[in-house]
Amino acid sequence: MHLAKTFIKIYYRDRQSLAFSLLFPLIFTLIFLFSGGEPDPTEIGLVNQSENDLSLKFVELVKENKAFAISEGDEVELRGQLIAGDLTALIIVPKDFDKSNTSRLRLLLDASQVRQVDAIKDSFDSMLLSIERELRGTQPLFTLSLEDVKARPQRYIDFLLPGILAYMLMNLCIAGSGYNLVEYRRRGILKRMFVTPIKPKDFIISIVLARMFIVLIQLSVILALAIGLLKINIIGGLYSLFGVIVLGAIIFLCIGFFLGSFAKTQEAIRPIALLFTLPQLILSGVFFPISSLPALIQPFAQALPLSVIASSMRDIANDGIPLFTLNFNFIGILAWIFISFFVATKFFNWQKVAS
């Protein structure tokens, strides 16, 4: 296919857009690299009003907890910081803090940060419990030791990366085929092409092959960075992962063609493409699991093209499930390949835009 080779040449010579398409993932990788992928400790203020031995010991133990960054001070000043949002919570150790009675610690929170209140209260309760044991010198009756059944370290970034890769694959592909198609048609290049005996199907296959080649290189760079700098584990092997990427590229390139068939101008293709990509970014479990969505839309969300690609990549990267496992994701991928190629060739029009 000489046409496919020529398209590779055209895309490769467009260095500027190649470089920019790598910029976002690079920045993303760097952000994760510098933050270490771990959440920052919660900023907590502490006011000690009692100053006896017990309370000093208590403060010392609180400071040992790595989940909190403690800053001590007087109540008025720390209250100000809490209201300004510099602190997430404020603990006040009362004057009558001793072993003889149940002391009432006051925890001041900014209720507008509702999202965090429950989590903070929980971790406080457990922290107080362990401090109490320590101070009273009692042995805990139970301890909880966390054992991951997958028995290997799994960080948020490990969950996130396959989804991010899938999302980038979708964007690169839709921009790659959809935007190109609109531009070529507007400038009459498509018309010139179809003066020759080339068939629309062959034309689509050529662009899909060429774009796939370019996208594979782009994703390889990102994957290499992720593995090299972020120490991502790809359990299931790179070949399987690239297999999914190739299949995903076919789906999204064909969908790009389909969307490009409805847009008259470069200005129109952007909102049309966003209409397709944005809901998927939210619904496809790229940033948080689909199971956290309302039950009603979960089946729908699971069947989205980005969902099947992302979760298939996650299966391979995190769980080592081979690509050719006859499961929901693989069937979903095959179905989407069929659907997207069908609509791409069916609605393809080199002359004017469809309806």
Partner 1 sequence: MGIIKATNLEKHYPSPDNSAETFAAVNKINLSIRQKEIFGLLGPNGAGKTTTLEMLEGLTSIDKGNVFINEIDVTKQPYEVKKIIGVQLQFNEYFDRLNLSELLILFASLYATSIDPESLLAKVNLEDKIKALPNDLSGGQKQRFSIACALVNNPKILFLDEPTTGLDPQAKRNLWNLAKSLNEEGMTIVLTTHNMEEAEYLCDRIAIMDQGSIIAQDTPQQLILDYAPEPPEIPMQGNIEDVFLALTGHGLRD
Binding site for partner 1 (CB under 8 A): 2-3, 6, 9-10, 13-14, 184, 187-189, 191-199, 351
The CB density around residue 223, as the number of other CB atoms within 10 Å, is: 21
- Least distance from partner 1 to the Cβ atom of residue 195, Å: 4
Which CB atom, from 203 or from 276, has the smaller least distance to partner 1?
Answer: 203
User: What are the CA-CA distances from residue 232 to residues 170, 213, 235, 316 (Å)?
Assistant: 21, 24, 9, 13
3-class SS of residue 293? coil
Q: How far is the CB of 191 from partner 1 (least distance, A)?
A: 6
User: What whole-number distance in Å separates Cα of residue 351 and Cα of residue 194?
Assistant: 9
**Would you say 5 or 150 has its CB closer to partner 1?**
5
- Measured CA to CA, the distance from residue 123 to residue 294 in angstroms comes to 27
- Classify residue 178 by its DSSP letter: I
- Our CB check for partner 1 shows the closer of 177 and 240 to be 177
Phi, psi (rounded to 5 degrees) for 59: -60, -40
Shortest CB 210 distance to partner 1, Å? 12
d(CA 50, CA 93): 7
Q: Beta 42-48 vs 106-109: how paired, if at all?
A: unpaired
Least spacing, CB of residue 20 vs partner 1, in Å: 16
| Choice between 5 and 95, CB closer to partner 1 | 5
Dihedral, CA of residue 78, residue 84, residue 86 and residue 90, to nearest 10:
40
Task: Pick the closer one to partner 1 by CB: 188 or 228.
Answer: 188
Token couple for 31: 């952000």
Strand 68-72 relative to strand 89-93, pairing: unpaired
- Of 127 and 193, nearer to partner 1 (C-beta) is 193
Sign of the four-CA dihedral 198, 200, 205, 210: positive
Q: Which is nearer to partner 1, 206 or 307 (CB)?
A: 206
User: What does the chain come to in residues?
Assistant: 355
Residue 6 CB, nearest distance to partner 1 (Å)?
5
Shortest spacing between CB 204 and partner 1, in angstroms: 14
CB of 14 to partner 1, least distance (A): 7
Helix 200-229 crosses helix 328-347 at what angle (to 10 degrees)?
140
What is the smallest separation between the CB atom of 209 and partner 1, expressed in angstroms?
A: 14
Q: Which is nearer to partner 1, 10 or 129 (CB)?
A: 10
Work out how close the CB of 275 gets to partner 1 at its nearest, in angstroms, rounded to a whole number. Answer: 27
Which CB sits closer to partner 1, 57 or 199?
A: 199
Q: Whose CA is closest to 310, among 290, 293, 335?
A: 290
Cα radius of gyration (the chain): 28
Burial class (CB in 10 A: 0-12, 13-18, 19+), 203: buried
How far apart (Å, rounded) are the C-alpha atoms in residues 270 and 179?
8
